[in-house]
Structure 1
Amino acid sequence: MREHLRDTFWFAPMAGLVCAVLLWWAAGALDEEILAHLHRVNAYAEIRELVALTEDTKVIVTTISSAMLTFIGVVFSISLVALQMASGQRTPRVVRIFIRSRISKLTFTVFLATFLFSLLVLTSFESERSARQVTSVPLVQTLMTLLLVGLSLVLFVVYVSATLRLMQVGPVVDRIAREALRMLERQGTGAEGAGSGVPEGPETGRVAHEGRAGVLKDVHVARLVRVARRHGVVLRLIPRTGDFVLPGTPVLAVHGGAAPPRRALRYTVSVGMERTFHQDLGLGLRQLSDIALRALSPAVNDPTTAVQCLDRIVQILAAVAPLPLGTVQHRDRRGAVRLTQSIPGWTDLVDLGLTEIRVAAVSGPQVSRRLLAGIDDLLLLVPRDRQQPLVRHRTLLLQAIERAAPSPSDRRFASHPDRQGIG
């Protein structure tokens, strides 16, 4: 649920509006307590001073309430233009970084909460001037409004800085790489080479997908494990996370017994319009490859961006290199395997990260030199049984350079490994 809410932009602002109402109510109760205390001690002079003070600040609160919504519209209109530019230069999937950004949600939430809070405070002001008949002096509420405005200004500066970073290549590819590495820590790994990932025992049933067609975003692992344990079966997820599934196609295979009832499997498989980082091991490499390919297109011709993407691709592959892949096995509390899930193997990840960039790298020596250096670094890090895909890509790249370079000196230059491409 936490991951799904992070992929939405409505939850945090709505929660902020509710908190604004609660804060207004709490501040109003405190104002009433202060006023009641002053009435008990007959401090009417102090009450008149508070009324005069709050009447002076009423103009400020009114100005805040009228200007805040305009401020919100201008800020986020400019942000959407910047986001459109970033998605056009990098990849449309960069929009997801903005949606998942905590600072973006926090800024929007505080802005809306300040606007709503100031409107509510205006309802607490009274036109009565007699100190003995005053029933509301919104002193604390006014102070809270000013604090929210100050917080909004601070967040505005931080938000602008974060938005400007979103338009830079380095922070974007770094964010993608960190998301991929965090997903790898959460996902766990399986046992590549230990089998096909099919549980022991014959397949006794299948569960078809019901609902709309879409991309398999993730599965509720804990719930599937509980269902399999209660029914004494082992479940196997047939499609990989990120696959497009159609209604009626099987998503779960059952081993060791009858298929659990459909009611028990509700909300266990999440299908949406786009892939997410939650359980998708290949999404980070896919996004980095997309950015690099767009940078290498003739319309953009930005090989330095492709080199920066290659830096992060090599980083992800180096982190995955020592880990077992292929199949993830999820166990119950007693250690029995209850759910198996197929994930990309080492060869799949290498091909995903390098193939398309290798094909486009022959157009410029900067990318080919960086790609060769990255492959050489990985060859030093990976086990011997995982070197073959890297050697294959290195050989194919050198053959492509031989065919594309016009002279021996150009071929030698393009074939020389360099971690910076060309300086």
Structure 2
Amino acid sequence: MSDRGHRPPRALSPLREHLRETFWFAPAATLVCAVVLWLVASALDEQIIAYLKDEEAYEEIRDLVSIAEDTKTIVVTVSSAMMTFIGVVFSISLVAVQMASGQLTPRVVRIFVRSRISKLTLSVFLATFVFSLLVLSSYESTADPRRVVSVPFLQSVLTAVLVALSLLLFIAYVSSTLRLMQVGPVVDRITRDSFRVLGRMPVGRPEPEAVPAETGVIRHEGRAGVLRDVNVVRLVRAARRQGTVLRLIPRLGDFVVPGTPVFAVHGGSAPGRRALRYTVSVGVERTLHQDPAFGLRQLSDIALRALSTSVNDPTTAVQCLDRVVQFLAALAPLPLGTVHHRDRTGAVRLVQPVPTWEQFVDLGFEEVRRCAPDSPQVTRRLLAAFDDLVLLTGPERQEPLLRHRALLVRAVERTVPEASERAFALLPDRQGIG
């Protein structure tokens, strides 16, 4: 467990996180489900015909054949129209991703990739297309009720249900995509994801706890990439069995290359490679699975893009600062620093570095503050942010806020020569220019 009475991070699930970052798994799984559904429906249709033959209900069989023939045209139309719908979905997705990455930041593309409604819509469309093609193979040319083996009655009903579901999902998909093309919903989504990570983030004491002397180092093996996940439970178990303490050297989000020291071993010999398998996950880019600082990184990137001369959208920067303040306000009362994960006996087994309060503040404000002096809307919002956070924090955490405030004031004084304009830019305002 960690130093506070909080649940540890979720156990590492590289496969689960990898599948959530891909766009192929859900459609592929749905196609398999569509084939299974068709096999089940086809078997049920055969049982229905067999039952009616046993009852010599040939008139009912003739009615089912008539209904099936009437719906054949609909099934044919559905099978051809679904590909058009799929093309529309792809076109909307590509346009939305292009606009979001160009106007906000390329880091928000992962929101579209992980969007459940997008995956569900594409999956149901593909399932409807495949299911309708399979249903077409079930139609028979004979109308003699004594020779009929199967009538795709239930299959036709399921095709209609899938079409109705596809239409409803298409409406929901368009609505969701239009929302994600707006700045407000995007920064709100990033903030909510960050708070979910914050809820399970391990926190500890600013002062490191004494651990045995370092006796060895474990280096990274495998591909280079960003450290995305740490399996705390497995690492604590491996250290306990070895009677040692492991100290994670890089922080989540750090880029590691083969040969980089990943763990320092304290007070004993290092666990075997087999015991450390699947304890860390390295990927191409950072994720929010266990890395709350990545949320601030995205908000800062969006604000920086908005303040660039090519975009010049200070209102978007103010919206991002609103969320930065919200996140830092939630961090303010939490103990931050080195985390000591313990085993069931209370012995420290894993030491994990966590960003300090000053590092979080710098991440949220440093780059935006440097680009802000020319924009009074942003400087006023920054000053209000510093004032609000100073009220929410104790004396021990006010120094970085006061430092950023003083630096901002000096930058505005150098940049804005006119006294009245300078006074206006240095007036705190939570709306920037309300």
In structure 2, C-alpha distance between the alignment counterparts of 1:211 and 1:326, rounded to whole Å:
29
State the partner residue of 1:122: 136
8 Å Cα contact 2:89/2:122 also seen in 1: no
Q: Tell me whether 1:283 sits opposite 2:280 in the alignment.
A: no
Q: How far does residue 281 in structure 1 lie from its aligned partner after superposition?
A: 2.1
In structure 2, C-alpha distance between the alignment counterparts of 1:10 and 1:230, rounded to whole Å:
40
Over 6 Å off, 4+ runs:
none
SS at match of 1:286: helix
Summarize the alignment of residues 377-392 of structure 1 with structure 2, pairs less than 5 Å apart: 377-392=388-403
Instruction: State how many pairs are aligned.
Output: 420
State the partner residue of 1:159: 173
Q: How far does residue 404 in structure 1 lie from its aligned partner after superposition?
A: 1.2
State the partner residue of 1:3: 17
Q: How far does residue 357 in structure 1 lie from its aligned partner after superposition?
A: 0.8
SS at match of 1:217: strand
Q: How far does residue 226 in structure 1 lie from its aligned partner after superposition?
A: 2.1
In structure 2, C-alpha distance between the alignment counterparts of 1:160 and 1:243, rounded to whole Å:
36
Q: Tell me whether 1:202 sits opposite 2:213 in the alignment.
A: yes
Q: How far does residue 12 in structure 1 lie from its aligned partner after superposition?
A: 1.4
State the partner residue of 1:146: 160
State the partner residue of 2:68: 54
Q: Tell me whether 1:87 sits opposite 2:98 in the alignment.
A: no
8 Å Cα contact 1:183/1:281 also seen in 2: yes
Q: How far does residue 215 in structure 1 lie from its aligned partner after superposition?
A: 0.8
Q: How far does residue 402 in structure 1 lie from its aligned partner after superposition?
A: 1.1
Give the letter for the 2:253 counterpart. G
Q: 1:102 aligns with which of 99, 116, 120?
A: 116
State the partner residue of 2:226: 215
Q: How far does residue 335 in structure 1 lie from its aligned partner after superposition?
A: 3.2
Summarize the alignment of residues 207-356 of structure 1 with structure 2, pairs less than 5 Å apart: 207-356=218-367
In structure 2, C-alpha distance between the alignment counterparts of 1:36 and 1:327, rounded to whole Å:
71
Q: CA distance change for structure 1 residues 328 and 22 in 2, over 3 Å: closer, same or farther?
A: farther
8 Å Cα contact 1:110/1:152 also seen in 2: yes
Deviations 1:307-348 (A, max 9, x none): 000000000100111101112232333333222211110000
SS at match of 2:281: strand
Q: How far does residue 70 in structure 1 lie from its aligned partner after superposition?
A: 2.4
8 Å Cα contact 1:281/1:344 also seen in 2: no
8 Å Cα contact 2:238/2:276 also seen in 1: yes
Q: CA distance change for structure 1 residues 334 and 140 in 2, over 3 Å: closer, same or farther?
A: farther
The share of aligned pairs that are identical, in percent, is: 69
Q: How far does residue 95 in structure 1 lie from its aligned partner after superposition?
A: 0.5
In structure 1, C-alpha distance between the alignment counterparts of 2:298 and 2:392, rounded to whole Å:
24
SS at match of 1:131: coil
Give the letter for the 2:381 counterpart. R
Q: Which runs of 5+ in 2 are unaligned?
A: 1-12
Larger relative contact order (Cα-Cα within 8 Å, sequence gap ≥ 6): 2
Give the letter for the 2:404 counterpart. H
Give the letter for the 2:334 counterpart. L
State the partner residue of 2:32: 18
In structure 2, C-alpha distance between the alignment counterparts of 1:210 and 1:340, rounded to whole Å:
20
Q: How far does residue 122 in structure 1 lie from its aligned partner after superposition?
A: 1.6
8 Å Cα contact 1:325/1:345 also seen in 2: yes
Relative to structure 2, which stretch is displaced further, 90-99 or 258-267?
258-267
Q: Tell me whether 1:76 sits opposite 2:90 in the alignment.
A: yes
Relative to structure 2, which stretch is displaced further, 372-381 or 230-239?
230-239
In structure 2, C-alpha distance between the alignment counterparts of 1:45 and 1:272, rounded to whole Å:
64
Deviations 1:3-30 (A, max 9, x none): 3322222221122112112211222222
State the partner residue of 1:111: 125
Q: Tell me whether 1:181 sits opposite 2:192 in the alignment.
A: no
CA RMSD of aligned residues (A): 1.3
In structure 1, C-alpha distance between the alignment counterparts of 2:343 and 2:184, rounded to whole Å:
41
State the partner residue of 1:372: 383
Q: 2:420 aligns with which of 394, 406, 409?
A: 409
Deviations 1:292-319 (A, max 9, x none): 1111111111000000000000001001
Q: How far does residue 113 in structure 1 lie from its aligned partner after superposition?
A: 1.2
Q: Tell me whether 1:172 sits opposite 2:191 in the alignment.
A: no
Deviations 1:234-292 (A, max 9, x none): 22111011101010111112222211111221222111110000111211111111111
Relative to structure 2, which stretch is displaced further, 175-184 or 204-213?
204-213
State the partner residue of 2:9: none
In structure 2, C-alpha distance between the alignment counterparts of 1:105 and 1:188, rounded to whole Å:
32
Q: Tell me whether 1:359 sits opposite 2:370 in the alignment.
A: yes
Q: Tell me whether 1:63 sits opposite 2:74 in the alignment.
A: no
Q: How far does residue 33 in structure 1 lie from its aligned partner after superposition?
A: 2.2
How does the TM-score come out when normalised to structure 2? 0.94
In structure 1, C-alpha distance between the alignment counterparts of 2:79 and 2:386, rounded to whole Å:
58
